[in-house]
Amino acid sequence: MLSFKRKKPIQGEVDLTRLPRHIAIIMDGNGRWAQKRGLPRSAGHAAGAETFRRIATYCKNIGVEYLTVYAFSTENWKRPAREVEGILSLLEQYLREAIESMERDHIRMRVFGDTSILPPKLCALITRTDEISKRYGGFQANICVNYGGRSEILRAARLAAESGEITERSLAQNLWSAGIPDPELLIRPGGEYRLSNFLLWQAAYTELYFTETLWPDFTPKELGKAIAEYQRRNRRFGDVV
């Protein structure tokens, strides 16, 4: 069993006094999880949505401040129309349920990405979650929908150019993630070893953690392994320390 202790972490242990403020996750492997069980891909996405709910709650409970997940990329529109519709429907259902608990639990939720082409009902729910989030502090979950790192950087550069000189600061201020710290830890379940156009600007010095575990099977124990590995690393940021 994974234990959480307030001391120097050893194998399989997490120091709760040195948690990353911001964790990012590429939620990969839903389709393969379903196929291995002879189920439609939609069942994998539904299972993945429940995993996100559990992991977000767990992050909030142990003291992580921000969780950003990759739910639907700009490239995912290439998938079969029925699968795309299913993913967006699941997101709509999740946001409806989340709105009911955001006020009660004082949870913030933001959607990063180009929402202009999303279904009107989904856009209305996103606007509602933004309004609720402005009233509270504390834990914040960010869901990347119709998101691509390259398009985010291009958009930020255009906005920075319109307002004046393009600098690192002005560009960062025009990212969808403006105002929150860059992730210290990025986790990719599913056995793939790439960023897939996710948080390309923000992940410049992020620690990367890859695991074969498919996203629907990803548990708080798996998250603990990733955090423990992060805490064992020496983050130098280009220095020689």
CB proximity list for 125: less than 8 A, separation 6 or greater: 92, 95, 96, 99
Tell me 233's DSSP state.
Answer: S
Q: Cα torsion at 117, 200, 217, 235 (round to 10°)?
A: -150
* Residue among 30, 61, 76, 174 flagged as catalytic: 76
Amino acid making up residue 1: M
Q: Any catalytic annotation for residue 28? A: yes
Q: Any catalytic annotation for residue 174? A: no
Helix axes 81-105, 120-133, angle to 10 degrees: 20
Is 114 in contact with 74 (CB distance < 8 Å)?
yes
HSE-CB for 203 with a 13 A CA cutoff: 21
Strand order in the sheet with 66-73: 108-112, 140-147, 66-73, 22-26, 185-188, 207-210
Residue 86: phi and psi, rounded to 5, are: -65, -40
Distance from C-alpha of 92 to C-alpha of 180, rounded to nearest angstrom: 25
The residues carrying an active-site annotation are 28, 76
